[in-house]
Structure 1
Amino acid sequence: MVRPYTITRGRTAPERDDFSLITVLTTADEPLDEHGVPLRAGRLQPEHRIILDRCRRPAAVAEVSADLDLPVSVTKILLADLVAQGLLLARAPLSVARASGGADMGLLAAVRDGLRRL
């Protein structure tokens, strides 16, 4: 078993704080760097590779965390790494993004309660 602080290289918080449990993640089709050169996923940790494979189809942060069998806080750090590299796309779920008054707190509470029951 590898300790979470080893996976995150000692980091305890992601550089981004906009990930929620229902943020939708998708692997970028052809990620490019700032010069338009295709990025290579060759030097990634095994967990990063698992995330990219899992997110070929849209997945929520909570689903990815469960698939990795890692705490959500650790998963968010790994996700932020991939988003920063342009290998992963993150967006709010459509129902939340379309809401004019912000997030539906009832829906978020139901998701939270459902995840706690897992």
Structure 2
Amino acid sequence: MVRPYTITRGRTAPARDDLTLITVLTTVEDPRDEHGAPVRPGRLQPEHRRILERCRRPAAVAEVAADLDLAVSVTKILLADLVGQGLLAARAPITVAWAAGGVDPSLLAAVRDGLRRL
């Protein structure tokens, strides 16, 4: 068994405070920095690599923690590392984004109406 402080290199809190249990994470296929240059990941721990593999399909923070069999607090630290490196994208779930005005309700209504016509 590896101790959590070893996995997190002694850190007890993530660099980001916006990761909740329902934050959706997705691996970035072609990570680029702010200048458009390809991002080369730093040395990744096995847990980081497992997260990137798991998040090839969108997954919530809680799902990733369960799949890794790690505490959510430890998982959030690892996730924040990957988001900070540009290797992982984090977003609020659609229902939260919609409530915050991030999703156009008319687009959702058009999709709903189109599905009903099928």
Q: Same fold (TM over 0.5)?
A: yes
Partner of 2:18: 18
Aligned residues: 101
Q: Secondary structure at the match of 1:49?
A: helix
Over 6 Å off, 4+ runs: none
Instruction: With the length of structure 2 as denominator, give the TM-score of the two structures.
Output: 0.80
Q: CA deviation at 1:42?
A: 6.3
Residue segments in structure 1 that go unaligned for 5+ positions in a row: 102-118
Partner of 1:52: 52
Partner of 1:115: none
- Conserved? CA contact 2:41–2:85, under 8 Å: no
Residue segments in structure 2 that go unaligned for 5+ positions in a row: 102-118
Q: CA deviation at 1:100?
A: 4.7
Partner of 2:63: 63
- Conserved? CA contact 2:25–2:91, under 8 Å: yes
Partner of 1:82: 82
Q: How far, CA to CA, are the matches of 2:36 and 2:95 in structure 1?
A: 33
Using the aligned pairs only, state the percent identity.
80
Aligned-pair Cα RMSD in Å: 1.5
Between 26-35 and 37-46, report the one with greater CA deviation. 37-46
Greater radius of gyration (CA): 2
Q: How far, CA to CA, are the matches of 1:94 and 1:48 in structure 2?
A: 25
Instruction: Letter of the 1:26 partner, please give it.
Output: T
Q: How far, CA to CA, are the matches of 2:100 and 2:81 in structure 1?
A: 30
Deviation per residue, 1:55-98 (Å, 9 max, x gap): 00000000000000000000000000000000000000001111
Q: Secondary structure at the match of 1:25?
A: strand
